[in-house]
Structure 1
Amino acid sequence: MIRKLSLALSPLALVAASCGQSSPAHSQQAETEQLPFRITELGTFAEPWAMAFLPDGSALITEKAGKLKLWKADRTVVDIAGVPAVDYGGQGGFGDVKPAPDFATSGTVYLTWVEAGLHDTRGAVLGKARLALDGSPRLEGLQVIWKQTPKVTGRGHFSHRIAFSPDWRYLFLSSGERQKFTPAQDLTNNLGKVLRLTLDGKPAPGNPFAAKGGVGAEIWSYGHRNLLGLQFDARGQLWDLEHGPMGGDELNHVEPGRNYGWPLVSDGDHYDGKPIPRNATRPDLAQPAISWNPVIAPGDFIFYHGDRFPGWNGQVLIASFAIGGILRLSIDGEKAKEEARYSLGQRIREIRQGADGAIYVLEDAPEGRLLKLEPMA
């Protein structure tokens, strides 16, 4: 059923849209606009987390409690067998899913999820398997190829987003600092980092801290908090989108060996009100392309490439919990600027572009809908 949604601002959206900037690093916040697209509902999923299109136009969708779904263009949905057991709770569970660069010939898919450890600890893991689509869909030969080290207590800030390098040779992975703060600055663990791995999950050659050996050899950048978006732009540059504390969500241009400051600096403060020095006080550290205070509470993001939405080509589209919709940003060199906010009246977890140039989003809800956004005309 196709239905056009009218503008519906939640209280959080009103707060986020009305507050101005407090420093040059903060968002030039755009007004929430009337929706420039029509919306088609395509299905409903239980706490969906990630989505990836396959070459035939079908899509894989992870549900946080531990299911992997195959959504087909005729809107049928099938459970995929052979998925791993996940440690579900808090922010943890099933995470990202991506077809391998050679999926068309190998059928390989990469998955992330949270794995339980000893003594009430847990951590994210990365695995790969063959997706068999003959007969009943299933994963075959699933193997874990990477783990967050060390496993720690708590159920927050796993991050575990996947991105492949433009040359398809390497896998980049976000690893949150698990709400433990200081590991993000420690190069002997892989928490609070962006990692560059081979397609088998090993440290990629030429990483900036390769000489350290161990998990330090995996690290591409550090000083990150909770990275829920990881994408390459059309020029082959890597960007991440991460949650700040009470304020300070940020979009970063990720460069090798750089320190992105957490928890030394932030454009937000601790939840108990204790202040944190601002990013601008440490020009020796990497500065965000844009930050938000109050937060937008981001999910995933994409760089839009296409002509179905005139003027959006090369711009950033961000899924947001706090505004209950999508933000659109333009990029100018190392900086970003808000262009518009579009309220959909529900927390948005995932955003993807289809081969048809349409935009697909997943709501963050117990019964989260898959929505297709297309131009009005």
Structure 2
Amino acid sequence: MLASCGYAKTGAESGESATLATDGAAFQVAEMATFAEPWAIEFAPGTPILFVTEQAGTMKFLDTASGTVGTVSGLPEVAYGGQGGLGDIAFLASEASAELGRRTIYLSWAEAGADDTRGAVVGKGTLVCAEAEACAIEGLDVIWRQTPKVTGRGHYSHRISISPDGEYLYIASGERQKMQPSQDTSNTLGTIVRLNLDGTPAAGNPMADKGGVTAEIWSYGHRNILGMDWDAEGRLWEVEHGPAGGDELNLVQRGANYGWPIRSNGEHYNGDPIPDHSADDGFAQPVISWTPVIAPGDMILYSGEMFGAWQGQALIAGLSTQALVRVAIEGDSAREVARHEFDRRLRSVEQGPDGAIWIAEDGEDGRVLKLTPQ
């Protein structure tokens, strides 16, 4: 039950460890379960059940009230390898009062195509939990495909976020390490798409009149988005990987172009320069840019009562930084306020029904950790 963390240790109870950030905020960390390459964690609304995707194509759940770990069947075949595999999970908040027995579930994954190509997809199905230790997904149908499928195994992004009004799906579509497609709106690489709940392009999208996949696009010029969430004002924020330097936190605006690969506050991995963002470059500017990078794996905007001082802050799971990065958002600006260091890469972060913070570590034997105030 011991989950070791960085920073100064405080007097935690047996089976837990405590961490103290540089701003004096302390919390306890408890190990709750272990999974194989966990990628996304998501509570089914109105329940204590935490669902976990495992990148190789399996899915499990943790009953956080009883400690029971169960399996989920009915998963799709995934193109596993590199950054690809089974991805994100999303549920409808409107079904919070429904029994866990049957509810809508959205999943993303990497799908193989012809000629050694791959692309992200999102499917919609019905989650049926008829047993304490087993659930099944029925009628899982693909409702969206990243266009086009390309070679390689990186930058799928495929994070899913449902708008606060419960009407629209927002899907992060990475540029698949191809760069230039991010500036070409005839495809959906390097974009955020906005869809109806059935996967069709939503009315009011900025290029809806152009038809085809262009009608799906909400914003473009992105690189590799791995976290999206909504603030109390109903605004969408995202965090994405830069190249060598230049990770970004962005406030997502309708029709905005975020500049990749024409502008970045990083440089190419071979050292070739990329012009930095500037106020007059015509692109949407990052609210925060990190060099050295934080290597974000996921992000939430915290809204709970348990960590009251953190309300409205972004909590970013760091991969290479092995840290939970806290960012205070103030209007249209933001600033990093603390880093809580862990001893492994952090892949995903989620807020529990009671306001506790849940983190999934990256990699084989990735632990799911629960954070509560000391």
Q: Shared fold (TM-score greater than 0.5)? A: yes
Equivalent of 1:330 in 328, 331, 348: 328
Paired position in structure 2 for 1:49: 39
Q: Is the 8 A contact 2:360 2:369 kept in 1?
A: yes
CA contact (8 A) 1:361 1:372 kept: yes
The whole-number CA distance in structure 1 between the counterparts of 2:123 and 2:269 is: 34
Take 1:212 and 1:48, find their aligned partners in 2: how far apart are those partners? 38
Contact 1:32 1:343 in 2 (8 A): no
Given residue 218 of structure 1, which amino acid in structure 2 is its aligned partner?
E
CA distance in structure 2 between the aligned counterparts of 1:41 and 1:33, rounded to whole angstroms: 24
- Provide the C-alpha distance between the structure 2 equivalents of 1:70 and 1:99, rounded to a whole number of angstroms: 14
| Residues 1:108 and 2:71 aligned together | no
Question: Which residue in 1 is equivalent to 2:260?
Answer: 262
Deviation (angstroms), 1:103: 3.3
Are the structure 2 counterparts of residues 57 and 119 from structure 1 closer, same or farther at C-alpha, using a change threshold of 3 Å? same
Q: CA deviation at 1:32?
A: 5.2
Contact 1:252/1:290 (8 A) holds in 2: yes
Q: Which residue is 1:238 aligned to?
A: 236
**Matching of residues 356-367 of structure 1 within 5 Å:** 356-367=354-365
Contact 1:316 1:330 in 2 (8 A): yes
> Does residue 56 of structure 2 align to residue 65 of structure 1?
yes
Secondary structure of the equivalent of 1:114?
A: strand
- Secondary structure of 2:42's counterpart equals strand
Instruction: Name the count of aligned residue pairs.
Output: 355
* 3-state SS in 2 of match to 1:140: strand
The correspondence of residues 56-135 of structure 1 with structure 2, limited to 5 A, is 56-73=47-64, 74-104=66-96, 105=98, 107-135=103-131
Kindly state the Cα deviation for residue 6 of structure 1 after the two structures are TM-superposed: 4.9
Q: Deviations over 1:46-89 (max 9, x none)?
A: 00000110122111100000001111122221111110010000
Residues 5/322 of structure 1: CA separation in 2 closer, same or farther (3 Å cut) = closer
Deviates more, 1:223-232 or 1:282-291: 282-291
Give runs of aligned pairs for residues 270-285 of structure 1, distance below 5 A: 270-280=268-278, 282-285=280-283
**Structure 1 counterpart of 2:310:** 312
Deviation at 1:194, TM superposition (A): 0.6
Q: Distance in 2 between matches of 1:113 and 1:341?
A: 30
TM-score (normalizing by structure 2): 0.92
How far, CA to CA, are the matches of 1:343 and 1:195 in structure 2? 33
Provide the C-alpha distance between the structure 2 equivalents of 1:50 and 1:130, rounded to a whole number of angstroms. Answer: 18
CA contact (8 A) 1:4 1:38 kept: no
Q: 1:38 aligns with which of 5, 18, 28?
A: 28
Corresponding letter in the other structure for 1:56:
T
Tell me, in whole angstroms, the C-alpha distance in 1 between the residues paired with 2:4 and 2:256: 44
Distance 1:3 1:364 in 2: 14
Unaligned ranges ≥5, structure 1: 9-30
CA contact (8 A) 2:50 2:63 kept: yes
**Whole-angstrom distance in 2 between the partners of 1:348 and 1:3:** 13
Tell me, yes or no, if the aligned pair for 2:4 and 2:342 is still in contact at 8 Å.
no
Match of 1:184 in 2: 182
The Cα shift of 1:100 comes to 2.5
**Equivalent pair of 2:6/2:341 in contact (CA under 8 Å):** no
CA apart distance, 1:33: 6.0
Q: Residue 278 of structure 2 aligns to a residue in which SS? A: helix
Distance 1:113 1:210 in 2: 26
| d(CA) in 1 for partners of 2:304, 2:250 | 23
Report the Cα distance in structure 2 between the residues aligned to 1:264 and 1:129, rounded to whole angstroms: 39
Alpha-carbon distance change, 320 to 5 in structure 1, aligned in 2, over 3 angstroms: closer
Query: What's the Cα RMSD here?
Result: 1.7
Residues 76-111 of structure 1: CA distance to partner in whole angstroms, max 9, x if unpaired? 211111100100000000000011244344611000
Q: CA deviation at 1:283?
A: 3.6
Shift of 1:282: 4.3
Contact residue 250 and residue 290 of structure 1 kept, 8 A: yes
Shift of 1:310: 3.5
TM superposition shift of 1:3:
5.9
Inter-partner Cα distance in structure 2 for 1:140 and 1:313? 37
Choose 137-146 or 277-286, whichever is displaced more. Answer: 277-286
Query: Which amino acid in the other structure matches residue 187 of structure 1?
Result: T
55-64 or 245-254, larger mean C-alpha shift: 55-64
Q: 1:280 to 1:139 in 2, by over 3 A?
A: same
Does the 8 Å contact 1:301/1:319 carry over to 2?
A: yes
Contact 1:102 1:108 (8 Å CA) reproduced: no
More moved, 103-112 vs 176-185: 103-112
The residue that corresponds to 2:7 in the other structure is: 7
Distance in 1, matches of 2:191 and 2:280, equals 19
Decide whether the 8 Å contact of 1:245 with 1:269 is kept in 2: yes
Q: Does 1:369 align with 2:364?
A: no
How far apart are the structure 2 equivalents of 1:101 and 1:208? 26
**CA distance in 2 between partners of 1:44 and 1:34 (Å):** 29
Distance in 2 between residues matched to 1:246 and 1:217, nearest whole Å: 32
Measure, in 2, the Cα distance between the counterparts of 1:3 and 1:362.
Answer: 12
